[in-house]
Structure 1
């Protein structure tokens, strides 16, 4: 006999999620602490006392005492078990009525397509098992949002770039990516790993990213909350440049250029003279640039950084920022590589680099594709109507509000 329980323990919930093939940070019990402006419950679904499905639900209060319920990357269950799926959806609807929910939105961690960009001819077909799951869910009353075409149409990105440890090593990266990482290192960029002590610098990098992209991101308090909530499963990866060391190296190179220039005679090839002049100009420009920054920022300057949260055998690159003034040092590609590598050294199986544009073009895709990730297309969002009378109007209002917010 099937039963369900509201308020299962965090330990029982998390253990089930971690043992699942749908493990996701957003279904960890601690994620609700991050989203503390929402209410939260943990539901367990049982058959003859055995736990078969879980859902950590977020509850958003609405006017007039109504609510919206959202299950990020859940529920976690065997979606091929039609009887179980039917029971879970019907139970969620019953639960939703107790919370005066207008509807319940969920987006399972299931893939319609996975394309590994490391393959020479990267292509993949739709997952027929996932297509059949869509049919099962719609048969039991869930309404599918379809294969949306814009990244802003869903709460969570429907396409993501994911790196798997089994496919990841420096030598397997594209030639240009390896060259960029080496160039960054050769230009003096050093990557370090830390925690809360890096957050003030991280917050400043995020402000610069906000300004550059014209978007609104989080502040220092939020980043502190992330690390405090996942104290043993979080890290900051930060790229630094030691300005005095870099300037000293450039001065040495400049002296060599001047020595070479002094050795030129009338017989020296013009191309050699021209190359020497260009190199001197480059060195003097960079020395002047770094000297000006030295007086503003001090000796050790943060250039780019990421925050990662681990859960089970998975890792999520949650936020990333960069100081665009130092883009010539290629810090972002360096720090993203080291972020993933650090996760895999800890035994993580995959690291999610985050969402990309649904049409696989644009800045997010172009940057993340440099790491030969697997591009994963999620199944997308489903709605369970709870209040039949108000559902259509409320869902329309929700969609309009989301589109308007995506423009800011």
Structure 2
């Protein structure tokens, strides 16, 4: 029986999420709820499932973005979700591309941009057909995009090892930072959707961190993550803080607490983690940058407690979500790359974005987009 495409509706939400959460190539950006987080006046999610003999073998959550003058584009973040190490992966991809082209191609729908989680520095059977055989890519009419949307260079920490081994793989300065943070009395509060107030405190620190460094996401996105993803175990917030205590006395709080911050606690750093059953992702972080706060090493102990928490939940790995390619000191991510590389993660390079043109105007749009990127942020061109 030929592969079949089915549009998923609300009634199949749990089936969709279960497939994504347990799939080795699944991503939180393919969760049903992430599509609802992004839903707005300009973004609308479309969910396509690929079936082989009534069995779900692929999933593509596509975000349709409305552009001025009636134009639009399609984007599949960290997807589609396909077993890319399977020989049938290219057939599944081809079925998806044909369906999108047949149903959505027009003058005003510019392209379908997919972002398969294919590892460029780790060839596998099915992956070879995409990453190493240019003829296969050409046959699918896919064209590499000149930059990544989600990070194409990252570091992933293996959480299946014993805690002692995970620590041993870290740089000695990172291990020192973790021990120093513990000695200073730093603690971590964890929230899985119980306290909107904690998320608001994180967002205030996040906006302060963003000043002059990067464009911050709007509050409504984090509020949607809190309301839609956190209660389903897809997102968690971690905050490191210094609890109030009389001078010279140690804190009797456990290293990780749940609930609200103790009265008088001082925030140090924070992170919003998205996760599947197999992997956690450090998507957004924030920290106080005063010399006094930095000397507490709260960002180090925060990451260590995140890793331990994920490991206890049975999560297999932790994606630090973005590092500068080849440790390029001129790259805009060079600063946090120095911090992230200390945790001993394996460096991973993804294939990047691929475009399926859906309009004769694609090449014109691509050329204008490239010129704009070269003018504004040339270091992100790959």
TM range (shorter): 0.7 to 0.9
Separation (CA, whole Å) in 2 of partners of 1:42 and 1:28: 10
Counterpart in the other structure of 1:94: 102
> TM (normalized to structure 1)?
0.76
| Residues 109-135 of structure 1 deviation map (CA, whole Å, 9 limit, x = unaligned) | 110126xxxxxxxxxxx6675343233
Which residue number corresponds to residue 122 of structure 1? none
8 Å contact from structure 2 (residues 323, 337) kept in 1:
yes
Q: How does 1:178-217 map to 2 (within 5 A)?
A: 178-194=175-191, 195-211=195-211, 213-217=212-216
What secondary structure is seen at the aligned counterpart in 2 of 1:355?
coil
26, 30, 39: which one pairs with 2:29?
Answer: 26
Instruction: Give the corresponding residue for 2:356.
Output: 384
Question: Any stretches of 5+ residues in structure 1 without a counterpart?
Answer: 115-125, 251-297
Does the 8 Å CA contact 1:138/1:144 hold for their aligned counterparts? no
- Aligned residue number for residue 286 of structure 1: none
Distance 1:140 1:335, change over 3 A: same
Partner of 1:232: 232
State the 1:406 CA deviation: 4.6
Q: CA deviation at 1:344?
A: 1.3
1:320 maps to which of 285, 289, 309: 285
The residue aligned with 2:7 is: 6
Shift of 1:341: 1.4
1:200/1:86 Cα in 2 relative to 1: closer, same or farther (>3 Å)? Answer: closer
Task: Give the SS at the match of 2:275.
Answer: strand
Q: CA deviation at 1:401?
A: 4.4
Larger Rg: 1
Q: Aligned pair in 2 of structure 1 residues 242, 3: CA closer, same or farther (>3 Å)?
A: closer
Q: What's the CA shift for 1:219? A: 4.3
SS class of match (1:354)? coil
Q: Among 61, 67, 92, which residue is 1:62 paired with? A: 67
Counterparts of 1:238 and 1:330, CA distance in 2: 13
1:281-292 paired onto structure 2 within 5 Å: none
Asked if the contact 1:45–1:54 (Cα under 8 Å) also holds between the matched residues in 2, the reply is yes
> 2:255 — aligned with what?
none
| 1:305 alignment counterpart | 270
Residues 1:29 and 1:379: Cα distance change in structure 2 (over 3 Å): same
CA apart distance, 1:89? 1.8
1:71 aligns with 2:76: yes
For residue 336 of structure 1, give the secondary structure of its aligned residue in structure 2. Answer: helix
Give the match for residue 165 of structure 1.
159
What corresponds to 2:221 in structure 1?
222
Q: SS where residue 160 of structure 2 aligns?
A: helix
Distance 1:191 1:48 in 2: 48
Cα pair 1:67 1:99 within 8 Å, conserved? no
Please report how far the alpha carbon of residue 244 of structure 1 lies from its aligned counterpart in structure 2 after TM superposition. 4.3
Q: Identify if the C-alpha distance between structure 1 residues 307 and 396 changes in structure 2 by more than 3 Å, giving closer, same or farther.
A: same
Q: Distance in 2 between matches of 1:403 and 1:34?
A: 30
TM (normalized to structure 2)? 0.81
2:337 counterpart residue number: 365
| CA–CA separation in structure 2 for the residues paired with 1:128 and 1:359 | 26
3-state secondary structure, aligned to 2:50: strand
Structure 2 counterparts to residues 108-123 of structure 1, below 5 A: 108-113=116-121
Determine if the alignment matches structure 1 residue 155 to structure 2 residue 154.
no
Q: Deviations 1:208-247 (Å, cap 9, x if unpaired)?
A: 2123x532213443322211111232222111113543x3
| Higher deviation after alignment, 308-317 or 378-387 | 308-317
CA distance in 2, matches of 1:40, 1:363: 34
Q: Secondary structure at the match of 1:359?
A: helix
Q: Indicate conservation of the 8 Å contact 1:70/1:104, yes or no.
A: yes
CA distance in structure 1 between the partners assigned to 2:280 and 2:16 by the alignment:
18
Answer whether contact 1:316 1:354 (CA < 8 A) is retained.
yes
* Equivalent residues, number: 341
Considering fraction of residues, name the structure with more helix.
1
**Residue 144 of structure 1, CA deviation:** 2.4
Deviation at 1:52, TM superposition (A): 2.4
User: Aligned equivalents of 1:102 and 1:219: distance in 2?
Assistant: 27
Is the Cα contact below 8 Å between 2:73 and 2:112 reproduced in 1? yes
Tell me, what secondary structure is at the counterpart of 2:367? helix
* The 10-residue stretch of structure 1 (154-163 or 172-181) with the greater mean CA deviation from structure 2: 172-181
